[in-house]
Structure 1
Amino acid sequence: MTYKGYLIDLDGTIYLGDKPIKAGKRFVDRLKEKNIPFLFVTNNTTKTPHVVKKRLQDSFDIDVSADTIYTASLATVDYMNDKGLGKKVYVIGEEGLKEAIFSSGFVLDEEHPDYVVVALDTDLTYEKLAVATLAIQKGAHFIGTNPDKNIPTHRGLMPGAGSLIAGIETATQKSATYIGKPEAIMMKKALERLKLAANEVMMVGDNYETDIRAGIDNDIDTLLVLTGFTKKEDVATLPIAPTKVIDSLDEWQV
């Protein structure tokens, strides 16, 4: 089948931490050469699209526009705007998430926020966890930007946002509303941005739990590339098989 567009993960698919995955660049180059639209769909909330664009260019020699980058931060803002509960928010997260939220008209409130948004925060403290827990107990709508338990890096699998969110779920006895892959919230918005239907695109990624389930759960064909989170030995035991499984993006013809 020929796909009209691609939704593509970044970390573990195009690069691995600070290390380039050279086949990832070649894959993007082939898409650009054939004028096939694509959108990088990433659960990473720590960087803005413009920072991601610059990093792709400077570190991995991949030249794309910021408009091709859709983060879980942007999807979270889209969700909060659609939900319409108010404009007060408490955020555990880094600059990419905070800039997206506060530049969209939301304001910080630690005591009685309408939303508590929790994402990866490498400066996490007990006090931040306490403020979030108390606000959720008072009735704030609890949002987890993405469920990733781990992040693949050159050091190995590091704790991800899902690990932090799980701790607050335990403390509050409340379940978060998750935004990022594999949730429909993010995938529907990504398809809107790409201006294509689910049956016209392929979801490309390295993580079965997020990237591939994002496709399976939302009726999008999937391409699992074994360069990051999910390993070759795991494939035989996956509950629902991806549409295709490859060792390298060099194997995929667009």
Structure 2
Amino acid sequence: SSERSPRELREKLDRLGIQADASHFYTSALATASFLASQRPNGSAYVIGEAGLINALYDAGFSTNEVNPNYVVVGETHSYSYEKIEKAINLVRAGARLIGTNPDLTDSMGKDVVPGTGSLIAPIELATGKKAYFLGKPNPLMMRHARKMLGCSREETAIVGDRMETDIIAGIHSEIDTVLVLSGVTSREDLKKYPYQPLYILSGVGDISE
């Protein structure tokens, strides 16, 4: 998720009774900020996203710019609007590069399905003829940076997720073990339509300790 900061994610786990340090979280917002800072140090961006993404970009040395930014960056957000799409389209047409935090078309909020970054960025792609570059899963860059940050080898790492198109394929592309949990968007029946398969299949994350 690009919406929340590592601190917010840590607090969420704390409420669930799970202890984790904020330094153990690596979000698509952090992956996006790290990549852009390596490509264009002290660059600028027009951002459609929430505080987790905006703060990650600030911390990486980026400034916000609504006139002539180097990049248009789109992440998960609840403040999407026609005006923001229009501005993003014209900035990309003027030369700004189009970046997405992750390509998921949908996300879940309780029992409801909500648009993901892939759906939010699609109108900008269609109107400009430019394809966005996504930094989150399944981009192997994110997986390499996360392993480097945690000091883990491929053999010590596994990716756990509920999406075949992002979580599991990210692990396959990064050559790390994959664990699909059936507590999210993918069912066992869905697996038949994919040419690739996870290494392990569990009912939920609670089964990992077993």
* Same fold flag (TM > 0.5): yes
For 2:176 and 2:41, how far apart are their aligned partners in 1? 31
Out of 204, 209, 215, which is 2:165 matched to? 209
For 2:106 and 2:162, how far apart are their aligned partners in 1? 13
For 1:62 and 1:212, how far apart are their aligned partners in 2? 24
Provide the aligned C-alpha RMSD in A.
1.5
Task: Please say if residues 199 and 219 of structure 1, whose CA atoms lie closer than 8 Å, have aligned partners that are also in contact.
Answer: no
In structure 1, what is the equivalent of residue 5 of structure 2?
Answer: 48
Runs of 4+ in 1 over 4 A off after TM superposition: none
Out of 147, 160, 163, which is 2:116 matched to? 160
In structure 2, what is the equivalent of residue 233 of structure 1?
Answer: 189
Q: Which amino acid in structure 2 is aligned with residue 206 of structure 1?
A: D
1:179-222 superposed Cα distances (whole Å, 9 cap, x missing partner) = 00011121111111121222331111111111111101111110
For 2:136 and 2:14, how far apart are their aligned partners in 1? 24
* SS of structure 2 residue aligned to 1:97: helix
Q: Which runs of 5+ in 2 are unaligned?
A: none
Task: Please say if residues 117 and 145 of structure 1, whose CA atoms lie closer than 8 Å, have aligned partners that are also in contact.
Answer: yes
* SS of structure 2 residue aligned to 1:192: helix
For 1:78 and 1:253, how far apart are their aligned partners in 2? 32
For 1:145 and 1:166, how far apart are their aligned partners in 2? 13
* SS of structure 1 residue aligned to 2:13: helix
Kindly indicate whether residue 27 of structure 2 is the aligned counterpart of residue 71 of structure 1. yes
Kindly indicate whether residue 130 of structure 2 is the aligned counterpart of residue 174 of structure 1. yes
In structure 2, what is the equivalent of residue 97 of structure 1?
Answer: 53
1:7-62 superposed Cα distances (whole Å, 9 cap, x missing partner) = xxxxxxxxxxxxxxxxxxxxxxxxxxxxxxxxxxxxx111111111112112x121
For 1:171 and 1:231, how far apart are their aligned partners in 2? 35
Aligned CA distance change for structure 1 residues 175 and 63 (closer, same or farther; 3 Å):
same
For 2:62 and 2:208, how far apart are their aligned partners in 1? 42
For 2:209 and 2:45, how far apart are their aligned partners in 1? 44
After the TM superposition, which of the residue ranges 135-144 and 148-157 deviates more from structure 2?
148-157
* SS of structure 2 residue aligned to 1:151: strand
In structure 2, what is the equivalent of residue 57 of structure 1?
Answer: 14
Alpha-carbon deviation of 1:162? 1.0
* SS of structure 2 residue aligned to 1:70: coil
Q: Which amino acid in structure 2 is aligned with residue 183 of structure 1?
A: N
TM-score for both structures, normalised by structure 2: 0.94
Q: Which runs of 5+ in 1 are unaligned?
A: 1-43
Task: Please say if residues 85 and 114 of structure 1, whose CA atoms lie closer than 8 Å, have aligned partners that are also in contact.
Answer: no
The 5-angstrom pairing of residues 135-154 of structure 1 reads: 135-154=91-110
TM-score for both structures, normalised by structure 1: 0.78
Q: Number of aligned residue pairs: give it.
A: 210
In structure 2, what is the equivalent of residue 246 of structure 1?
Answer: 202
For 1:81 and 1:197, how far apart are their aligned partners in 2? 25
Q: Which amino acid in structure 2 is aligned with residue 49 of structure 1?
A: P
Higher relative contact order (CA 8 A, sep 6+): 1
In structure 2, what is the equivalent of residue 219 of structure 1?
Answer: 175
Aligned CA distance change for structure 1 residues 249 and 46 (closer, same or farther; 3 Å):
closer
* SS of structure 1 residue aligned to 2:26: strand
Aligned CA distance change for structure 1 residues 154 and 143 (closer, same or farther; 3 Å):
same
Alpha-carbon deviation of 1:142? 1.0
